[in-house]
Structure 1
Amino acid sequence: MESGRILGIAYNVIPVKDVEKSAEWFVKHFGFNIRNKRDGYLSLFRENRPILDLIQSEHDSRAVFEVNGRKRWVITFFSDDIVSLHSRLQAGDVKVGNLSDEGKYGKFFVLEDLDGNLFDVWEHRDCELVY
Protein backbone atom coordinates (compact mmCIF):
# COMPACT_ATOMS: atom_id res chain seq x y z
CA MET A 1 0.00 0.00 0.00
CA GLU A 2 1.30 3.40 -0.98
CA SER A 3 2.01 5.94 1.77
CA GLY A 4 1.30 9.65 1.60
CA ARG A 5 -2.42 9.27 0.83
CA ILE A 6 -5.49 11.05 2.15
CA LEU A 7 -7.15 8.63 4.57
CA GLY A 8 -10.31 10.62 5.28
CA ILE A 9 -11.50 13.83 6.87
CA ALA A 10 -10.07 14.48 10.32
CA TYR A 11 -12.61 17.15 11.39
CA ASN A 12 -14.61 20.10 10.10
CA VAL A 13 -14.47 23.69 11.33
CA ILE A 14 -17.69 25.67 11.76
CA PRO A 15 -18.25 29.29 12.78
CA VAL A 16 -20.29 30.05 15.92
CA LYS A 17 -21.17 33.21 17.85
CA ASP A 18 -20.35 31.82 21.31
CA VAL A 19 -17.94 28.88 21.51
CA GLU A 20 -18.87 27.93 25.08
CA LYS A 21 -22.64 28.02 24.52
CA SER A 22 -22.35 26.13 21.24
CA ALA A 23 -20.07 23.49 22.76
CA GLU A 24 -22.57 22.90 25.58
CA TRP A 25 -25.31 22.40 22.98
CA PHE A 26 -23.29 19.80 21.04
CA VAL A 27 -22.28 17.98 24.22
CA LYS A 28 -25.90 17.90 25.44
CA HIS A 29 -27.47 16.69 22.20
CA PHE A 30 -24.72 14.49 20.72
CA GLY A 31 -22.55 13.43 23.66
CA PHE A 32 -19.40 14.93 22.17
CA ASN A 33 -16.51 15.73 24.52
CA ILE A 34 -14.52 18.95 24.53
CA ARG A 35 -10.78 19.02 23.83
CA ASN A 36 -8.08 21.46 22.77
CA LYS A 37 -9.81 24.47 24.27
CA ARG A 38 -8.19 27.76 23.32
CA ASP A 39 -9.36 31.34 23.20
CA GLY A 40 -12.33 31.44 20.80
CA TYR A 41 -11.72 27.90 19.55
CA LEU A 42 -12.25 24.33 20.71
CA SER A 43 -12.50 20.79 19.41
CA LEU A 44 -15.40 18.38 19.81
CA PHE A 45 -14.62 14.67 19.82
CA ARG A 46 -16.62 11.43 19.90
CA GLU A 47 -14.50 9.42 22.34
CA ASN A 48 -11.01 9.69 20.81
CA ARG A 49 -12.10 10.74 17.31
CA PRO A 50 -12.24 14.41 16.24
CA ILE A 51 -15.61 15.52 14.85
CA LEU A 52 -15.94 19.33 14.79
CA ASP A 53 -13.90 22.36 15.66
CA LEU A 54 -15.87 25.43 16.73
CA ILE A 55 -14.38 28.84 16.02
CA GLN A 56 -15.88 32.03 17.36
CA SER A 57 -16.87 34.40 14.56
CA GLU A 58 -18.59 37.75 14.64
CA HIS A 59 -19.22 37.44 10.90
CA ASP A 60 -22.66 36.21 9.77
CA SER A 61 -21.25 33.43 7.59
CA ARG A 62 -22.34 29.94 8.57
CA ALA A 63 -21.80 26.36 7.41
CA VAL A 64 -24.62 26.54 4.89
CA PHE A 65 -25.07 27.43 1.22
CA GLU A 66 -27.97 27.69 -1.22
CA VAL A 67 -28.88 25.81 -4.37
CA ASN A 68 -31.93 27.04 -6.30
CA GLY A 69 -33.02 29.08 -3.28
CA ARG A 70 -32.86 26.08 -0.93
CA LYS A 71 -30.46 25.96 2.02
CA ARG A 72 -27.99 23.06 2.01
CA TRP A 73 -25.56 21.66 4.55
CA VAL A 74 -21.82 21.08 4.21
CA ILE A 75 -21.45 18.36 6.87
CA THR A 76 -23.26 15.02 7.16
CA PHE A 77 -23.21 13.07 10.42
CA PHE A 78 -23.63 9.27 10.35
CA SER A 79 -26.01 7.53 12.76
CA ASP A 80 -26.52 3.88 13.68
CA ASP A 81 -30.16 4.53 14.75
CA ILE A 82 -31.50 7.58 12.98
CA VAL A 83 -35.11 7.11 14.12
CA SER A 84 -34.15 7.20 17.81
CA LEU A 85 -31.79 10.12 17.28
CA HIS A 86 -34.45 12.10 15.39
CA SER A 87 -37.02 11.49 18.15
CA ARG A 88 -34.57 12.43 20.91
CA LEU A 89 -33.55 15.66 19.17
CA GLN A 90 -37.19 16.63 18.51
CA ALA A 91 -37.99 16.06 22.19
CA GLY A 92 -34.96 18.23 23.07
CA ASP A 93 -36.33 21.16 21.04
CA VAL A 94 -33.64 20.92 18.37
CA LYS A 95 -34.68 22.28 14.97
CA VAL A 96 -34.93 19.11 12.89
CA GLY A 97 -36.48 18.44 9.51
CA ASN A 98 -38.63 15.49 8.62
CA LEU A 99 -37.09 12.04 8.56
CA SER A 100 -36.98 10.70 5.02
CA ASP A 101 -36.34 7.16 3.83
CA GLU A 102 -34.76 7.23 0.39
CA GLY A 103 -34.55 3.47 -0.01
CA LYS A 104 -31.17 2.32 -1.32
CA TYR A 105 -29.68 5.74 -0.50
CA GLY A 106 -30.54 5.48 3.19
CA LYS A 107 -32.46 7.54 5.71
CA PHE A 108 -31.86 11.25 6.28
CA PHE A 109 -32.88 14.34 8.16
CA VAL A 110 -31.51 17.87 8.44
CA LEU A 111 -30.91 19.75 11.68
CA GLU A 112 -29.86 23.26 12.62
CA ASP A 113 -27.60 24.25 15.50
CA LEU A 114 -27.90 27.37 17.67
CA ASP A 115 -26.09 29.49 15.07
CA GLY A 116 -27.98 28.39 11.97
CA ASN A 117 -25.32 25.94 10.78
CA LEU A 118 -27.08 23.13 8.92
CA PHE A 119 -26.17 19.46 9.23
CA ASP A 120 -27.46 16.39 7.47
CA VAL A 121 -27.82 13.13 9.41
CA TRP A 122 -27.60 9.86 7.50
CA GLU A 123 -28.10 6.18 8.24
CA HIS A 124 -27.18 3.56 5.67
CA ARG A 125 -26.68 -0.12 6.36
CA ASP A 126 -24.64 -0.86 3.23
CA CYS A 127 -21.89 1.72 3.73
CA GLU A 128 -18.73 0.94 5.66
CA LEU A 129 -17.50 3.75 7.86
CA VAL A 130 -14.51 2.94 10.03
CA TYR A 131 -14.29 4.64 13.42
Structure 2
Amino acid sequence: MKRVTGIGGIFFKCQDPAKMKEWYKTHLGFDVTDYGVQFSWKQDDPTVEGYTLWSPFPDKTKYFEPSTRDFMINYRVHDLEALVAALKEEGVTVLDNIESYDYGKFVHILDLEGNKLELWEAK
Protein backbone atom coordinates (compact mmCIF):
# COMPACT_ATOMS: atom_id res chain seq x y z
CA MET A 1 0.00 0.00 0.00
CA LYS A 2 1.28 3.46 -0.87
CA ARG A 3 1.50 5.71 2.15
CA VAL A 4 2.98 9.22 1.87
CA THR A 5 3.44 10.41 -1.71
CA GLY A 6 4.87 13.89 -1.04
CA ILE A 7 4.75 17.03 1.06
CA GLY A 8 1.43 18.84 0.76
CA GLY A 9 2.34 21.84 2.87
CA ILE A 10 4.62 23.46 5.41
CA PHE A 11 2.92 25.45 8.15
CA PHE A 12 4.66 27.49 10.84
CA LYS A 13 3.83 29.90 13.64
CA CYS A 14 4.87 33.55 13.56
CA GLN A 15 3.96 36.73 15.42
CA ASP A 16 2.24 38.45 12.48
CA PRO A 17 1.21 36.23 9.55
CA ALA A 18 0.12 39.19 7.40
CA LYS A 19 3.50 40.91 7.78
CA MET A 20 5.30 37.61 7.20
CA LYS A 21 3.36 37.03 3.98
CA GLU A 22 4.13 40.58 2.83
CA TRP A 23 7.86 40.13 3.60
CA TYR A 24 8.01 36.93 1.53
CA LYS A 25 6.01 38.59 -1.26
CA THR A 26 8.30 41.64 -1.33
CA HIS A 27 11.67 39.97 -0.88
CA LEU A 28 11.23 36.50 -2.38
CA GLY A 29 8.42 37.10 -4.87
CA PHE A 30 5.87 34.76 -3.28
CA ASP A 31 2.41 34.99 -4.90
CA VAL A 32 0.60 35.16 -1.54
CA THR A 33 -3.12 34.49 -0.96
CA ASP A 34 -5.12 34.28 2.27
CA TYR A 35 -3.96 30.66 2.61
CA GLY A 36 -0.30 31.29 1.82
CA VAL A 37 1.45 30.25 -1.39
CA GLN A 38 0.86 27.28 -3.66
CA PHE A 39 3.98 25.94 -5.34
CA SER A 40 2.70 23.98 -8.34
CA TRP A 41 4.40 20.97 -9.89
CA LYS A 42 3.50 18.04 -12.17
CA GLN A 43 2.66 14.63 -10.74
CA ASP A 44 3.87 11.32 -12.19
CA ASP A 45 1.12 11.82 -14.76
CA PRO A 46 2.29 15.07 -16.44
CA THR A 47 -1.31 16.02 -17.23
CA VAL A 48 -2.09 16.27 -13.51
CA GLU A 49 -0.80 19.27 -11.57
CA GLY A 50 -0.15 19.13 -7.83
CA TYR A 51 0.97 21.75 -5.37
CA THR A 52 2.73 22.24 -2.05
CA LEU A 53 1.31 24.92 0.26
CA TRP A 54 3.48 27.31 2.34
CA SER A 55 1.46 28.98 5.09
CA PRO A 56 2.31 31.08 8.17
CA PHE A 57 -0.07 30.83 11.13
CA PRO A 58 -0.54 33.19 14.12
CA ASP A 59 1.87 32.32 16.95
CA LYS A 60 -1.13 31.78 19.28
CA THR A 61 -2.87 29.30 16.94
CA LYS A 62 -4.35 26.21 18.56
CA TYR A 63 -4.35 24.39 15.21
CA PHE A 64 -1.03 22.63 15.90
CA GLU A 65 -2.17 21.33 19.32
CA PRO A 66 -1.62 19.01 21.08
CA SER A 67 1.91 19.45 19.69
CA THR A 68 3.95 22.21 21.30
CA ARG A 69 6.07 22.69 18.17
CA ASP A 70 6.00 25.84 16.04
CA PHE A 71 5.51 23.91 12.80
CA MET A 72 3.31 21.27 11.22
CA ILE A 73 3.96 19.36 8.02
CA ASN A 74 1.14 18.27 5.73
CA TYR A 75 1.87 15.03 3.89
CA ARG A 76 0.09 14.02 0.69
CA VAL A 77 -1.20 10.44 0.81
CA HIS A 78 -2.71 8.05 -1.70
CA ASP A 79 -5.65 6.38 0.15
CA LEU A 80 -6.41 8.14 3.43
CA GLU A 81 -9.03 5.68 4.71
CA ALA A 82 -6.78 2.64 4.22
CA LEU A 83 -3.79 4.46 5.68
CA VAL A 84 -5.70 5.57 8.79
CA ALA A 85 -6.91 2.00 9.34
CA ALA A 86 -3.33 0.70 9.06
CA LEU A 87 -1.97 3.43 11.36
CA LYS A 88 -4.57 2.61 14.02
CA GLU A 89 -3.61 -1.08 13.82
CA GLU A 90 0.04 -0.04 14.26
CA GLY A 91 -0.78 1.95 17.41
CA VAL A 92 -0.31 5.43 15.90
CA THR A 93 -2.29 8.18 17.64
CA VAL A 94 -4.99 9.45 15.26
CA LEU A 95 -6.28 12.74 16.66
CA ASP A 96 -9.52 13.22 14.78
CA ASN A 97 -11.89 11.81 12.19
CA ILE A 98 -11.30 12.15 8.48
CA GLU A 99 -12.79 15.43 7.23
CA SER A 100 -13.78 15.96 3.57
CA TYR A 101 -13.66 19.27 1.72
CA ASP A 102 -13.95 20.23 -1.94
CA TYR A 103 -10.11 20.07 -2.21
CA GLY A 104 -9.58 16.75 -0.45
CA LYS A 105 -9.69 14.73 2.78
CA PHE A 106 -7.69 15.41 5.95
CA VAL A 107 -6.81 13.78 9.26
CA HIS A 108 -4.23 14.55 11.96
CA ILE A 109 -1.85 12.17 13.71
CA LEU A 110 1.06 12.39 16.17
CA ASP A 111 4.54 11.07 15.49
CA LEU A 112 6.55 9.37 18.23
CA GLU A 113 7.79 12.73 19.65
CA GLY A 114 4.34 14.30 19.71
CA ASN A 115 4.63 16.37 16.52
CA LYS A 116 1.23 16.89 14.94
CA LEU A 117 1.16 15.85 11.27
CA GLU A 118 -1.59 16.53 8.79
CA LEU A 119 -2.37 13.83 6.22
CA TRP A 120 -4.10 14.97 3.03
CA GLU A 121 -5.58 13.04 0.14
CA ALA A 122 -6.10 15.55 -2.66
CA LYS A 123 -9.30 15.33 -4.68
Structure 1-normalised TM-score?
0.41
Structure 2-normalised TM-score?
0.43
